[in-house]
Amino acid sequence: MLIRTPADLGAVIRDRRKRLKLDQSTLAKRIGVSRQWVIDIEHGHPRAELALVLRALDALGILLDASSESSTSTSRVSAPSAVDINAIVAKAKKGKA
């Protein structure tokens, strides 16, 4: 899975939060941020503090894989928590239309 923009990352965070049936306030409390911060990150705010983003990923159980392109792609695809970013972004765009 490739995340290329802050909006892509926001879509992944929003999708996982919803799959876990968490509202934005509950996630915010788990991370130690305001609900507005969660709203901003889900909308692709490009200047979010990295430590808070990592805390959000951890709270949602999202793994961050820093493999290089020379790594075998099969290990990334077979991961149990793999997310189809293209489907999430398409779904998010469809919802805005």
Count: domains in the chain: 1
What tens digit of pLDDT does each residue of 3-48 get? Answer: 889 999 999 999 999 999 999 999 999 999 999 999 999 999 999 8
pLDDT of residue 54: 94
What tens digit of pLDDT does each residue of 56-93 get? Answer: 999 999 998 887 766 544 444 444 566 777 777 777 77
Considering the domain boundaries, does residue 1 fall inside one?
no
What range does the domain containing 52 cover?
6-96
CATH of the domain at 88: 1.10.260.40
Considering the domain boundaries, does residue 18 fall inside one?
yes
pLDDT of residue 22: 97
DSSP single-letter state for residue 93: H
| Alpha-carbon gap, residue 81 to 97, rounded angstroms | 28
| Alpha-carbon gap, residue 90 to 96, rounded angstroms | 10
pTM, two decimal places? 0.68
